[in-house]
Amino acid sequence: MDDDASNSYEFPAIVPLPFKILFLISLGSYLWFSIVKVNYKYFNINTLQLLSLSYSNLSYTQLDGLQVDNGEFATTVSADYKENQTLMNGIWNTFYKVVSITVGSLLVYHIFNMSELSKGGSIFSLICAGFPLTIIIMTLSTLFRPDETPGSTRNWTTLKRIITGAINSKTMRTNDILISDTLVSYSRVINDVVLYLWILISLGPYSIYVETLALGSPVLIRVKQCWYEYKITGSRQHLLNMVKYLTTFGPLLINILVRITVNNAELNELRGTPEYDESVINRLASLNSWWYFLATINSTYSFIWDVKMDWGFGLFDFQAINNPNRGKTLVEQTLRPRSQLIGPMIKYYSIIAIDFVLRFLWILKFFQQAGVGESNEDYLVARVSGFLYGGNAYQLGYTTLEVLEIFRRWLWCFLKLEADWFKLQSSGIELVAVKEN
C-alpha cells in the first residue's frame, strides 16, 4: 500500500473524525494560553486590558451602580496587570479539562471498538457512533458554559453576540474580533462538526450546499460585523474589510459549480453517454482557472490587510511609497517605529513570511493538477500537494491544513494584540503593565 492509501485508511482509524475535532479544539485552547503567557511573562502586554476584562469587581464600577462585575460587560477601570496570572490559570485549567476529556474518551472509544460489545447489535453500534457527540457537547460546555468566573461569562456572552453577527465595537472590539476571526480560521473544523452530524443521522452523501454554508458561516459573521461598523462610523475602512471577507466566497461558489458539473457528468454516464466529453473537460478547466483567479484575489487582499491594517506595519503603505519620507528608517518603512516593536526584527519578518506562505499554500494544487513530477523536486512538490489537497476531511493531509491555518491565526493574534496595545498608547489611554526598570 502506498503512502496516499495509508493516509486514507490509517489516520481516520486511529483518530476518527469527531476526535480530530476535539484535538483541534484542544490545540486552540493551548495556543490561546501560550499567547496570554508570552504577553504576560515576556512582552509586558496587559491582555486583560485589551479585552476590557477584569477579575476584580472594582474594575466595573459606575456612578449609577448598575454595571455588573461578572465579565459580561467591559470594564470601566483597566484590570491590574497581575490579574493576567488568573486569566492564564483559568485557560490552563480549561485546556487541561478539554485535553483530558479528549484523550480519555478516545481511549474508551477504541477499547469499546475492540471489545465484543461493539459487535453486539445495532444498539451497541449506535452507542459507539453517538458517544463522540456526547464528548463534543461536554467539551463545548466546558469552553463556553458560564459559571461564577468573569472569564467564562465573557466567553459565553461574546459567543452569543457574535454568532448573530453583532459586535461591541465601542468598548470590547478587540475581544469580539479575536473570537470572530478565530471562528473564520476554524471554518474547516466547523465543517467537520456538520459533516459528523450529517453522517450520524444518515442523510446520505454530504451536500455541497451544506458544506459551503458551514465553511462560509464564520465569514458571514464577519461580513455582518463589518457592515454594522461601517453604518455606525461611516469609515471606508470597514467597508473595505467587508469586501475582503466577501472575496472568500468566490472559490467556494466555484467549488459548487465544479461539483455540479462532475455530478451531471456522472449522471450522463449512467444514461449511457460519455462521462467526460470534451465540453465537460473544457468547462472544468475554465472553472479551475476562475478558482485560481479568485483565490489569488482573496489571498492577496487578505495578506495585505493582515500586514497593513491588522498589524499596522508600513510594508504596504502606498501613500508613503508615492511620498517617501526620507527621515524614516528601513524598519519604520516596513514595520513600525522601533519603540512600538517588541523583540528582534527577525520575529516580525518571519511572521510576515509565514503568513504569506500559508495564505498562498493552495498554489500547490496547481502543480498537482498540472501533472508536475518528472524531476525529483517536482515529484516532491506533487506528492506534498497530493497529501494536502488530494483527500477529504477524514485524512491526515486535510487535518494538516487545518492545523496550519490555526497556527497562522495564532501568529496573527500575537501581532494583532501587540498592535492594539500600542494603539491604546497612542490614543492617550494609560497602559496598565509592569514598568521596566
Closest C-alpha to 181, from 162, 154, 195, 194: 162
Tell me, what's the pLDDT at 333?
84
Tell me, what's the pLDDT at 5?
47
Tell me, what's the pLDDT at 437?
40
Tell me how far apart the alpha carbons of residues 117 and 255 are, in angstroms, rounded to a whole number.
42
Tell me, what's the pLDDT at 138?
93
- How many separate helices (H) and strands (E) can be counted in the chain? 18, 0
Give the DSSP per-residue string, 213-249.
Answer: HHHHHHHHHHHHHHHHHHHHH--HHHHHHHHHHHTTH
Residue with cell 468566490: 250
Identify the sign of the CA torsion 154, 155, 158, 161. negative
39-44 long-range contacts, CB within 8 A, separation 24+: 39/84, 39/417, 40/81, 40/84, 40/85, 40/88, 43/342, 43/343, 43/418, 44/342, 44/433, 44/434, 44/436
Burial of 395 (0-12, 13-18, 19+ CB in 10 A): buried
Q: What is the amino acid identity at position 298?
A: N
Task: Name the residue ranges covered by the structural domains of the chain.
Answer: 16-162, 311-430
Closest C-alpha to 139, from 187, 98, 200: 98
Closest C-alpha to 108, from 7, 226, 16, 8: 16
Tell me, what's the pLDDT at 68?
67
Each residue's pLDDT tens digit in the chain (437 positions)?
Answer: 455 544 556 899 899 999 999 999 999 999 999 999 999 999 999 999 999 999 988 888 764 556 667 888 899 889 999 999 999 999 999 999 999 999 999 998 888 877 755 565 566 666 777 889 999 999 999 999 888 888 889 999 999 999 999 999 999 999 999 999 999 999 999 999 999 999 988 778 999 999 999 999 999 999 999 999 999 999 999 999 999 999 999 999 999 999 999 888 877 666 556 655 778 888 999 999 999 999 999 999 999 999 999 999 988 876 665 665 656 788 888 899 999 999 999 999 999 999 999 999 999 988 765 555 556 667 788 888 989 998 899 999 999 999 999 999 999 999 999 999 999 988 878 888 875 54
